Structure 1
């Protein structure tokens, strides 16, 4: 009887440990291709970014979304650092362009920025949203999980 109890306890603990590993968020990103969007271009035909882990534990991210009809685009090139599973810090350059905004000129954001996944969202959204045009115009730049 004692052996059976020990065996059951061991199975429960092992099973629970496997469950906890599957459901506990980690501070790692999924490497590979992720969808990438800017709302001016649309969510129906997302662009792509490549995310790859560096030796230092951070991740390179590079990619774009392009609108073949009006020439608009968003590009990203830099390094992501995982703060938590729902928060990323980005160091690099994000460029957006839509002919109807900012006089049709490229909006260049170079520096340190933040991406958050709020609520039940399945993407991280750039938090420094202001377009270079000003006038309360914002760019929703999203990297999907």
Structure 2
């Protein structure tokens, strides 16, 4: 009887820890205000996006990050479809401008794009990263879990 009680206790503790560990590492998608960044502007001073539920798995997203010292910015406006807790499909427009990239012109992307959360990251990152300039210029555009 002691052996069965010990095995049962181990089983309960294992299940409890497993559920806790999964909950801690799996991002949850929520409505509301989220931080939003483009690395050229700043990771330390994020912009904000508003995410609102449209229907069961589709949300609207709109927001921006702007640099108070320059004309640099990134904006996003469209819809997000939640594929999983780590994958979002965005349809809409993303615009960015950074003075020394793309000859100082706005980079506008309109269409369908993918955001993924990988590993221990606390954000979804745009996967189609190449800036309009080309030349291996990579934009890290992130939507944070918070």
Q: TM-score range by the shorter chain?
A: 0.7 to 0.9
Once the two structures are superposed, the pairs formed by residues 40-119 of structure 1 within 5 Å of their partners are: 40-119=40-119
Structure 1 runs, 4 residues or longer, greater than 4 Å off:
24-28
The answer (yes or no) to whether the contact 1:26–1:84 under 8 Å persists in 2 is no
TM-score by length of 2: 0.81
Structure 1 runs not aligned, ≥5 long: 1-11
Larger mean CA deviation between 25-34 and 106-115 belongs to 25-34
- Once the two structures are TM-superposed, the CA of residue 68 in structure 1 deviates from its matched residue by 1.3
In the alignment, the residues of structure 2 paired with residue 92 and residue 103 of structure 1 have an alpha-carbon distance, to the nearest angstrom, of: 24
Give the total of aligned pairs: 131
3-state SS of paired residue (2:103): helix
- Once the two structures are TM-superposed, the CA of residue 28 in structure 1 deviates from its matched residue by 6.2
- Over aligned residues, Cα RMSD in angstroms? 2.3
The answer (yes or no) to whether the contact 2:33–2:50 under 8 Å persists in 1 is yes
